[in-house]
Amino acid sequence: MTAPSKFRAARLGGASLLTCLVAAGCQNSNPDRAVLDAWLTCIECTDGELDSLKAQATFHASTIDTLREDLLHGPSATRRARLAQQLTATYQLLAAYVASHPNLDSLAFTQAQFVDLDLENMVTIYQGRAARGLGEIGGTHARAALDSALQLPQASFPPSVWAEIHYARDSLIGP
């Protein structure tokens, strides 16, 4: 088994780092944040997360403000630190597993590379979901939130997030 396939296997049957984020970040008792986190961190997003987000936005205008902040800044420093701790522990378990199985190749990445890459991926997914959520919610407030992101330099976002912002904004009807 090669290192990259061991890396995929370490994700335990398709579960990704977003599972770690949910565990790290959804301990907030604020039900509004819990609905947002369910959408921003879902893996396959087949359990009504987007519908719940849209319903929440209908009753809580602050949902759009929070999504705007999530789009512009990604997860908070506290969430990132918790995730980094969990990814570090995951890497150590993976390294111990590889060390205890001599038939496996050694890991092709360092702990720092593992943590940095997964954190970067998590931020990208998180921001992209925030943009999509704003586009799905729609309305003038969501449009303004997307427009505020488009006022930033393109280099402020990973290319996939920049594309998601444009797609979400272009899907809204009106100026």
Q: What is the tens place of the pLDDT at every residue in 42-98?
A: 989 999 999 999 999 999 989 999 999 999 999 999 999 998 999 999 999 999 999
Q: What percent of the chain stands above pLDDT 70?
A: 81
If one counts every other C-beta atom within 10 angstroms of the C-beta of residue 42, the result is 19
Residue 160: half-sphere exposure toward Cβ, Cα within 13 Å: 11
Mean pLDDT to the nearest integer, 9-30: 41
Residue 5 has pLDDT above 50, yes or no: no
CB distance 97 to 136 below 8 Å: no
CB distance 37 to 45 below 8 Å: no
Residue 12 has pLDDT above 80, yes or no: no
Q: Residue 102's pLDDT is what? A: 86
pLDDT grade for 26, boundaries at 50, 70 and 90: very low
pLDDT grade for 120, boundaries at 50, 70 and 90: very high
Mean pLDDT to the nearest integer, 124-138: 96
Q: Residue 106's pLDDT is what? A: 86
What predicted TM-score, i.e. pTM, was given to this entire model? 0.77
Task: Provide CB contacts within 8 A for 16, sequence distance 6+.
Answer: 43
CB distance 109 to 139 below 8 Å: no
